[in-house]
Amino acid sequence: MLKDTKNIPHNIQSGLIVSLVALPLGFGLALASGVPPMAGIIATVAGAVLFSLLGSSRLIIAGPGNGLVVLSLYAVGVLGQGNPALGYSLLLGAILMSGIFILLMGLFRFGVLAELFPAAAIRGMLAAIGLIILSRQLHVLLGVDPQSSSAFGLLAELGNSIGLIQNGSAPLAAWTLGLVSLALLFILPKIRFWPFQKIPGPMWVLALGIGYSYLSPHFALWPQLPDSHLISLPPEILDAFTFPSFKAMGTGSFWTISLSLAFIAAVESLLSIKAIDKLDPEQRRSNANKDLRALGIATIGSSLIGGLNVVAVIARSSVNLNNGASSAWSNLFHGLFLVLFLALFSIQLEHIPLAVLAAILVHTGYKLTAPSQFRAMAELGRDELLLFIFTYLATLASNLIIGILSGMLITLVYQLFSLKKRGYYLRSLFRPNVLLFEEQEHKYHLSVKTMSNFLNFIRLKKQMDTVEPQAELILDFSLAEYVDHSVLEHVQQYRHRFEAAGGSLETIGLDDLGQLSSHPLATRRPLKKGSSKRGKLTRRQKMLRLYAAEHNFRFQYSEVEDDGRFKGFEYFQDKYLHLLRNRIECRNQNWLWADIHYEDTDFYGNALRHASMVYLPLPSETAPFVLDQERLLDRVAHLAGFKDINFERHPDFSKRFKLKGEDEKSIRKFFEGPLIPFLESHKQYHIECNGRALLIFAKERHTTVSETKQMVNFAEQLTEVLKP
Taking CA 65 as the corner, what is the angle to CA 61 and CA 71, rounded to the nearest 5 degrees? 160
Inter-residue contact 61 to 320 (CB < 8 Å) = yes
Q: Taking a C-beta distance cutoff of 8 angstroms, is the pair 376, 610 a contact?
A: no
Q: Which residues contact 593 (CB under 8 A, 6 or more apart)?
A: 583, 584, 585, 612, 613, 614, 708, 711, 712, 715
Flag whether pLDDT at 640 surpasses 60: no
| Prediction pTM value | 0.72
Instruction: Please report how many Cα atoms fall inside a 13 Å half-sphere around the Cα of residue 29, on the Cβ side.
Output: 31
pLDDT tens digit sequence for 292-350: 999 999 999 999 999 999 999 988 888 888 777 888 899 999 999 999 998 888 888 88
Strands 472-483 and 504-508: parallel
The pLDDT score that the predictor gives to residue 606 is 57
What pLDDT, on a 0 to 100 scale, did the predictor assign at position 637? Answer: 45
Count CA atoms within 13 Å of residue 580 on its CB side: 19
Q: Where are the domains of the chain?
A: 8-111+137-370, 426-526, 540-721
Reduce the DSSP state of residue 467 to 3 states and report it: coil
Mean per-residue pLDDT, 574-600: 86
Beta strand pairing call for 686-689 and 524-526: unpaired
The pLDDT assigned to 537 comes to: 66
When pLDDT is cut at 50, 70 and 90, the band that residue 549 belongs to is very high
DSSP-based three-state secondary structure for 632: coil
**Cα–Cα distance measured from residue 578 to residue 562, given in angstroms and rounded to the nearest whole number:** 8
CATH topology of domain 426-526: Transcription Regulator spoIIAA (3.30.750)
* Residue-wise pLDDT tens digits, 207-246: 999 999 988 888 766 788 888 888 888 877 778 899 999 9
Q: What is the DSSP letter of 33?
A: T
Give the tens place of pLDDT for each residue, 371-406.
999 999 999 998 899 999 999 999 998 888 888 899
Across all residues in the chain, what is the average pLDDT?
87
- The CA angle 79-262-389, to the nearest 5 degrees, is 95
pLDDT single digits (tens) 157-200:
999 999 999 888 888 999 999 999 999 999 998 888 888 877 88
The pLDDT, as a whole number, for residue 634 is 47
pLDDT in tens, 26-42: 999 999 999 999 999 99
77 CA to centre of own chain:
31
Give the model's pLDDT for residue 528: 63
Q: How much helix, strand and coil, in percent to the nearest 5, is found in the chain?
A: 55, 15, 30
> Could you give the angle at the alpha carbon of 102 between the alpha carbons of 100 and 104, nearest 5°?
70
Are 436 and 154 in contact, with CB atoms under 8 Å apart? Answer: no
Concatenating the DSSP letter of every residue in 391-425 gives: HHHHHHHS-HHHHHHHHHHHHHHHHHHTSSSHHHH
**pLDDT band of 631, cuts 50, 70, 90:** low
